[in-house]
Amino acid sequence: MDLSHSPEEEEFRARLRQWLGRVLPTLPPKPSPDDWPGRRAYDMGWQRMLYDAGYADVHWDASPTTRLIFLEETEKAGAPYVGAGFVGLLHAGPTIAAEGSEEQRARWLAPILRGEEVWCQGFSEPDAGSDLAALRTRARRDGDEYVVSGSKIWTSHAEVADWCELLVRTDPAAAKHRGITWLALPMDAPGITVRPLRTLAGSAEFAEVFLDEVRVPVGNRVGDENDGWRVTMVTLSFERGTAFVGEVVACRRVLRELAAEARKNGRWDEPELRRRLGRLNAEFRALWRLTQWNVSEAEASGGVPGVGGSVFKLRYSQARQELYDTAADVLGPDALDLDRPWVLDRLSSLSYTIAAGTSQIQQNIVAERILGLPKGR
Amino acid sequence: MRFQLTDDQRALRDGVRALLARRFDREALWAAVDSPGRLDRALWRELGEAGFFALRVPEGDGGVGLGLPEAVLAFEEAGRVLLPGPLVATHLAAGAVPGAADGSVVVAGVDGALVEWLDAADVVRGDAAGAVALRSVDPLTPLHRTPAVAVTDPVAVLLTAAEQLGTATRACELAVQHARTREQFGQPIGAFQAVKHLCAQLLVRAEVARAAVYAASVTGDPADIAAARLLADEAAVRGARDCLQVHGGMGFTWESEVHLHLKRAWVRAQRGGGRTESEELLAAELAA
Ligand SMILES: Cc1cc2nc3c(=O)[nH]c(=O)nc-3n(C[C@H](O)[C@H](O)[C@H](O)COP(=O)(O)OP(=O)(O)OC[C@H]3O[C@@H](n4cnc5c(N)ncnc54)[C@H](O)[C@@H]3O)c2cc1C
């Protein structure tokens, strides 16, 4: 067991740190959380800077350890989060890289890396959330095109996306998991209506997407027709396996800020609260170690992260909610003021045990796929 | 960075596991339960000869010359099988107390306000004057209370965390085994989601604790060690409890070994100043 880094890795870290120190002060001010066009421009601008400096493909081509260093350093330095680039960089891109044709990789990967194209994820439907394979959005083959009709829901930042990783049913007669296909849907195609939905935090973070006879070239299909479920599992393993890594570093920073705030407002003298912060320190240290363990394991086995991601996601989503509940205790009555720091974070943390597969579903996955317990009905 | 067991570490772990399977199987466990307070001296010496106590003593001083990560793996295995005796105290005494390293001498130590295995020990480290015997909740750990309160070595805290990790892992295995085989309503109880989720959480707690314990063994950092102990205590205590729940009525019987894991986890959770000390240390680290 080794937690030290090679000279090359340390050199990468030092170079990155230096670069961050130079460019971060030049960034424009962050747009408001409600301003999605503004956020898109900001996040893509940042991605372009990473690209120009040679850091853009760190999520895909670099070794997992290098990626870990990248996420650690950017977060520590307070660099922008992937934001609108989340789906493209962290799961659609890696899926296309792993499963797409040569032509598809050439068409879609570079614009993601250069911060030119934003992706969203069209998996969930009104009647197919946890039971994702129950999806009903249909795609009928018509010559060189699929004609798609149906609707998607909870599609994060759909209004500013150029592309959507879309799951459709291509064979209604096949068994539930069999007749599904993974398509890249251009969001400007005729027949698409995006209706923003307001989240409990008050902003339009996600949307409903209606598809009415939308024509998608057959060449936009990743993987074989009716083989989309397998491709989806690849996407989800990226989503759960590596997509949250940087956030653990962020939580550790928030914890230090909370301790400082508690010392300022006198709550630090309450042993119970102080010890809760200590307990959370243990929690996030352990989650960081688990991240390093999982990354080393992925590095040893090569390629797609395994179901161990579900173990991490379960614990992390719960810890993150505890963190912001504790923040509320540190703040006292100020925790009811939306203008105070951490209050919006507390609201958004409520989604963590739901989005990307609920905690109940993750527990089923751990029990059935890791522990080998029988499948329930 | 390669935060995975090396081949040598894997071999060491498998070796300790094989030795314990041979020398401390279920039968030996129940024999120990049936003769409370008696320590198997032959087994102790065998552990000594295998290098269990001298693992971290430098080779120049006749030890094995390995480090904390290896010790943690060995203690995890001991924890898994509920190996009785003042393992941590004797291990820490190796190199300092003659005979501790080779297992010919049994060393007990004062930890907080408690001493384990006082009567069976040849040597006691720390001030045990005025110690009073308790009727120990754990049939495999005789306990005394002492008026003097001793400070605990972080290494002792870490090795205890490793034992807790062993218990957590074992509790998960026992629960899953039972959930796969016990049938109710015409199917294995493990097909029911309520049971499935108990098992999933057993694994999650154990794996989070494992990462924390192994990392602390590599860094030796006091805050990492404190974190490891908190996570490992939780994984062992909650894990053994949930394992008992999965076993239903059978889990509440003396004959099932589940209660032995829970009771031992409770004993270990008292070591090193208990939870409070570790939480305070980690809080102070945040404010530093
Ligand atoms: C902020 C946010 C962003 C999202 N972004 C996207 C996105 O970009 N693209 C996308 O496709 N989707 C997205 N989602 C959707 C998300 O993946 C689903 O919400 C999630 O999978 C749950 O589905 P559901 O909402 O239909 O809830 P349901 O499936 O209706 O579940 C409701 C409750 O029932 C429980 N439940 C359901 N089935 C079972 C079962 N078998 N066993 C035990 N309990 C069960 C669930 O755990 C949950 O508690 C997002 C969600 C959120 C909150």
Quote the pLDDT of residue A1: 94
What average pLDDT does this structure show over B113-122? 96
Quote the pLDDT of residue A305: 56
Quote the pLDDT of residue A303: 55
What average pLDDT does this structure show over B225-236? 98
pLDDT digits (tens, 9 = 90+) for A131-162: 999 999 999 999 999 999 999 999 999 999 99
Mutation for testing the B interface, residue in A297, A362, A373, A377 having most B CBs under 10 Å? A373
**A285 interface with B at CB cutoff 8 Å:** yes
Quote the pLDDT of residue B76: 98
pLDDT confidence band for B178 (50 / 70 / 90)? very high
Average pLDDT, chain A: 92
Residues in chain A with pLDDT values less than 70: 238-243, 302-307, 377
For the record, the structure tokens of B147 come out as 């008026």
- Euclidean distance between the first and the last CA atom of chain B, given in angstroms as a whole number: 27
The DSSP code for A116 is: -
Quote the pLDDT of residue B1: 86
Closest partner CB to B287 (pick from A263, A282, A300): A263
Query: Distance from the CA of B217 to the center of ligand 1, in angstroms?
Result: 39
Residue B282's closest chain A neighbor by CA? A278
Residue A289's closest chain B neighbor by CA? B211
**DSSP element (H, E) containing A93:** helix A93-99
Quote the pLDDT of residue B148: 80
With a cut of 60, say whether residue B78 has pLDDT above it: yes
With a 6 Å cutoff on the Cβ, whether A354 touches ligand 1 is yes
User: What is the SS3 assignment for chain B?
Assistant: CECCCCHHHHHHHHHHHHHHHHHCCHHHHHHHHHCCCCCCHHHHHHHHHCCCCCCCCCHHHCCCCCCHHHHHHHHHHHHHCCCCCCHHHHHHHCCCCCCCCCCCCCEEEEEEEEEECCCCCCEEECCCCCCEECCCCCCCCCEEEEEEEECCCHHHHHHHHHHHHHHHHHHHHHHHHHHHHCEECCEEHHHCHHHHHHHHHHHHHHHHHHHHHHHHHHHCCHHHHHHHHHHHHHHHHHHHHHHHHHCHHHHCCCCCCHHHHHHHHHHHHCHHHHHHHHHHHHHHHHHC
**A364 interface with B at CB cutoff 8 Å:** yes
With a cut of 80, say whether residue B136 has pLDDT above it: yes
Catalytic residue among A165, A239, A261, A322: A239
With a 6 Å cutoff on the Cβ, whether A193 touches ligand 1 is no
Query: Distance from the CA of A129 to the center of ligand 1, in angstroms?
Result: 5
pLDDT digits (tens, 9 = 90+) for B44-62: 999 999 999 999 999 999 9
Residue A367's closest chain B neighbor by CA? B200
pLDDT digits (tens, 9 = 90+) for A328-367: 999 999 999 999 999 999 999 999 999 989 999 999 999 9
**Total-model pTM:** 0.93
What is the complex's ipTM, to 2 decimals?
A: 0.93
Quote the pLDDT of residue A241: 58
**Maximum C-alpha span of chain A:** 72
Residue A239 known to be catalytic: yes
For the record, the structure tokens of A221 come out as 């299909």
